[in-house]
Amino acid sequence: MMEPTAYLLLSGILFGIGVVGVVARKNVLIILMSVEIMLNGVNVAFIAVGSHLGDPTGSIFAFMVMTVAAAEAAVGLAILIAIFRLKETIDITELSVLKW
């Protein structure tokens, strides 16, 4: 089996692309999808190192990350629907009621 270095590099690239999506986009839906990409990048690192060490703990952690991602998507999208009903927009720069 390959050394995990290449997988760790891929994991970093996926995480970085997710960061770009979160900081550079205005559409809330695309920001939430970018967060999913970031979580997937982390999972790649967990799985690569877990299988390298021959330890199922890597898979367990990735499993927990997936659970949190599913919960986050459900709650985040519910918040998005509630906000859209109120303000009729999905532009993150217009959603600034909590901004001081």
Partner 1 sequence: MELILFILFGAIAVGGAIMVVTRRHPMASALYLILTLFAVAALFALRQAHFLAAIQVIVYAGAVVVLFIFVIMLVNVPENKLPMERVTGMRLLGVVAAGLLILESAVLARKFAMPAGSTADAGSVQAVGRALFTDYLLAFEITSVLLLSAVIGAIALAKKKI
Q: Which of residues 26-55 bind partner 1 (CB under 8 A)?
A: 26-27, 29-30, 32-34, 36-37, 40, 43-44, 47-55
Residue showing tokens 């839906």: 29
- The closest of 66, 59, 26 to 45, measured between CA atoms, is 59
- Segment 72-91, which members bind partner 1 (CB under 8 A)? 72-75, 77-82, 84-85, 89-91
Q: To the nearest whole angstrom, how small is the minimum distance from the Cβ of residue 51 to partner 1? A: 4
Q: How far apart are CA 82 and CA 44, in angstroms?
A: 33
Q: Which two tokens stand for residue 52?
A: 């390298």
Q: Is 97 in the site for partner 1 (CB under 8 A)?
A: no
Q: To the nearest whole angstrom, how small is the minimum distance from the Cβ of residue 28 to partner 1? A: 9
- 27 by DSSP, 3-state: which? strand
